[in-house]
Amino acid sequence: IPVERIRNFSIIAHVDHGKSTLADRLLEFTGAIKENSGNNQVLDKLQVERERGITVKAQTASLLYNVDGEDYLLNLIDTPGHVDFSNEVSRSLSACQGVILLVDANDGVQAQTVANFYLAFGNDLVIIPVLNKIDLKNADPERVCKQLQSLFDIDPSEVIKISAKLGKNIDSVLKAVVKRVPIPIVNRTAPFRGLIFDSSFDKYRGVLSLVYVQDGNVKVGDTITSYHNKKSFEIKTLSLLRPQEVPVERLVAGQIGLVGCNMRSSKEALIGDTLHNSNDVIEPLQGFTPARPMVFAGIYPMDQSQHVNLRSAIEKLTLNDSAVTVDVGTSPALGLGWRLGFLGLLHMEVFSQRLEQEYAMDAIITAPSVTYKLKLKPTKQNLKDGTDYIYVNNPALFPDHLTIEETLEPIVLGTIITPDKYMGPIISMCMERRGVQKNATNIDNERVMLQYELPLCEIVVDFHDTLKTLSSGYASFDYEDHGYKPSNLVKLSILLNGNAVDELSAIVHITKAQTVGRQMVLRLRDIIPRQMVHIAVQAAVNGKVLARENIKAFRKDVTAKLYGGDVTRRMKLLAQQAAGKKKMRMVANISLPRDTFIDVLKK
């Protein structure tokens, strides 16, 4: 197919606005899949995606569509629906010239609609606005058209109204793709250059990279090199996705295909990297920034005997998801484990859910934390090797306050869309979480869009749930990375009888130290069982105690009552006590049940 008849596009939408349903209809309409193959969404492959109804991993298909007797090749590039994956979204978008901006005609514009619009807009893509679900009784296309106009300056006459569910008006969507999306600029005679925009792992063929061929062509047997990675591979398989794989011998510029070349790990197929023929010297396709994890959590097996199984499950999952970073972590209380880095909250949730569902792993995942940036006071050493800035995501590694010059924390720009009657409580919540309002816009008579700069650490724990509760489920939220800002951070230490327990410590903003410290101490008082010795539980910052509670010693001997009683019963009781002790962990010379830690670390 000549380049003039190729179109590359994707669908962007807020969760549940019907992206997968529309993708299925497009596939049916162009004959790529049989009609009514049930309502099961063909492009969403992972079980988590089906269950949660969200798209996590981008899936892609090439469609053939005939207009006025001419065949067009429409490459539908499916993007993950959430900005946690904004890196993947923008990679996928960089292979497109246009997007379908899909909005629910009942729900209207939501937070992710806004975030996705700006991603597409920033990539200079043609935007085709489409209202979905016009079959719904409460659909109000007029109102939503006005929202699109006031927020994005979209002319209501350009908006296409469809029902993906009923298959209504799908044809106009395809026609608009052909008419409005620009022809890709490619060069078929130049040396081969291909952009890797997604990768997955296949048990038999190793890593499969999804590649957009920008220039030239590539065939089975060619030796290719990845530009940033500088590794070379021989191409074993090439296929088109229609959406099932169709093996081909060659891919040419303008096409999208799956490239298999026996890579062993997804870390070798870096998303955003450029592939080229090993003999050619080329310019890479775009600036390449590796995915940067924003949220970290410790992961431990429920039981140390499952350590090996958990390790292998994590390895397999990360083969498929190169954005997860893995470091070994240990904790005297929880044993051997790992510290994982994720792109965001949803990414973390999806990962732990996949561990559970696909590998039946029952793991302990600690409360998420973020990465702080610290500027250290100049010393001879760091002046020499330039290590005056360090990144810390583990409170145990937070340096002594006397050595720190400045502390900075990661900030996000959050977008909230809500019916205006919930605005008061939402604004209070954002203020409580140290948010700074940047913008408030009415998007129609009863809805507002609020934009806040918020510290990432304030949204990682139940921000979304609280927002939903405050707004009876009507508010939506999305956020994007907004860099680091100076902030007064301290390490809150928890001490048991004067010994710091690093696993219980936390990095907090100074204004929260007192409250958090108090809460921790009270909780520990309630859950640590009484022991033979008196325990003082303290929370301290920079050596200063902020809160203290006591757990009185446990004086009674369990067997005291049994003197003169049955000996076997007494032995049994002692044996039980010994077994109980095995589950205990010695921390700061005090034995604590492992469950105590699980309890505290999860919250």
- Please state the residue numbers annotated as binding site for GTP: 13-20, 78-82, 132-135
Q: What is the spatial distance between Cα 337 and Cα 30, in angstroms, rounded to a whole number?
A: 49
Could you give the residue ranges of the DSSP H alpha helices within 163-255? 170-180
Instruction: Between 138 and 445, name the residue whose CB sits nearer to ligand GTP.
Output: 138
Q: Which residues of 469-507 are buried (b: 16+ CB within 10 A; e: fewer)?
A: ebbeebbbbbbebbebeebebbbbbbbbeeebbbbbbbb
Q: How far is the CB of 423 from ligand GTP (least distance, A)?
A: 26
Q: Give yes or no for a contact between 29 and 171, defined as CB atoms under 8 angstroms apart.
A: yes
Residues β-bridged to residue 451 = 415, 439
Paired tokens of 196 = 């890797």
Q: How far is the CB of 390 from ligand GTP (least distance, A)?
A: 38
First-to-final CA distance of the chain: 56
Q: How far is the CB of 317 from ligand GTP (least distance, A)?
A: 20
At 244, give phi and psi (nearest 5°). -70, 155
Paired tokens of 332 = 């005297």
Cis peptide before 293 (omega within 30 of 0): no
Instruction: Between 25 and 339, name the residue whose CB sits nearer to ligand GTP.
Output: 25
Paired tokens of 216 = 């030239």
Q: How far is the CB of 141 from ligand GTP (least distance, A)?
A: 12
Instruction: Between 21 and 393, name the residue whose CB sits nearer to ligand GTP.
Output: 21
Instruction: Between 20 and 87, name the residue whose CB sits nearer to ligand GTP.
Output: 20
Q: How far is the CB of 83 from ligand GTP (least distance, A)?
A: 12
Q: How far is the CB of 442 from ligand GTP (least distance, A)?
A: 26
- Please identify which residue in the block is written with the tokens 């997007």: 99
Instruction: Between 21 and 86, name the residue whose CB sits nearer to ligand GTP.
Output: 21
Between helices 86-93 and 111-122, what is the axis angle to 10°?
40
Q: What is the spatial distance between Cα 422 and Cα 427, in angstroms, rounded to a whole number?
A: 9
Instruction: Between 120 and 334, name the residue whose CB sits nearer to ligand GTP.
Output: 120
Q: Give yes or no for a contact between 307 and 313, defined as CB atoms under 8 angstroms apart.
A: no
Q: What is the spatial distance between Cα 102 and Cα 406, in angstroms, rounded to a whole number?
A: 44
Q: How far is the CB of 497 from ligand GTP (least distance, A)?
A: 50
Residues β-bridged to residue 442 = 448
Q: How far is the CB of 91 from ligand GTP (least distance, A)?
A: 17
Residues 6+ apart with CB under 8 A from 445: none
Longest dimension (CA), the chain: 101
Instruction: Between 80 and 298, name the residue whose CB sits nearer to ligand GTP.
Output: 80
Q: How far is the CB of 4 from ligand GTP (least distance, A)?
A: 31
Q: How far is the CB of 136 from ligand GTP (least distance, A)?
A: 5
Residues 6+ apart with CB under 8 A from 380: none
Instruction: Between 133 and 276, name the residue whose CB sits nearer to ligand GTP.
Output: 133
Binding residues: 13-20, 78-82, 132-135
Q: How far is the CB of 13 from ligand GTP (least distance, A)?
A: 5
Angle at 305 between CA 300 and CA 306, to 5 degrees: 55
Q: What is the spatial distance between Cα 193 and Cα 253, in angstroms, rounded to a whole number?
A: 8
Instruction: Between 415 and 487, name the residue whose CB sits nearer to ligand GTP.
Output: 415
Q: How far is the CB of 237 from ligand GTP (least distance, A)?
A: 28
Instruction: Between 59 and 538, name the residue whose CB sits nearer to ligand GTP.
Output: 59
Q: Give yes or no for a contact between 492 and 517, defined as CB atoms under 8 angstroms apart.
A: yes
Closest CA to 299 of 358, 219, 361: 361
What's the one-letter identity of residue 236? K
Q: Give Cα separations from 574 to 172, 349, 553, 590 (angstroms).
A: 78, 42, 19, 20
Q: How far is the CB of 479 from ligand GTP (least distance, A)?
A: 17
3-state secondary structure 67-128: ECCEEEEEEEECCCCCHHHHHHHHHHHCCCCEEEEEEECCCCCCHHHHHHHHHHHHCCCEEE
What's the one-letter identity of residue 388? D
Cis peptide before 243 (omega within 30 of 0): yes
Angle at 531 between CA 525 and CA 534, to 5 degrees: 70
Instruction: Between 116 and 147, name the residue whose CB sits nearer to ligand GTP.
Output: 116
Please spell the DSSP secondary structure of 382-403, one letter per residue: HHHHT--EEEE--GGGPPPGGG
Instruction: Between 139 and 275, name the residue whose CB sits nearer to ligand GTP.
Output: 139
Q: What is the spatial distance between Cα 493 and Cα 505, in angstroms, rounded to a whole number?
A: 5
Q: Which residues bind ligand GTP (CB under 6 A)?
A: 13, 15-21, 53-55, 81, 132-133, 135-136, 163-165
Instruction: Between 56 and 211, name the residue whose CB sits nearer to ligand GTP.
Output: 56
- For residue 412, the surrounding DSSP H or E stretch is strand 404-419
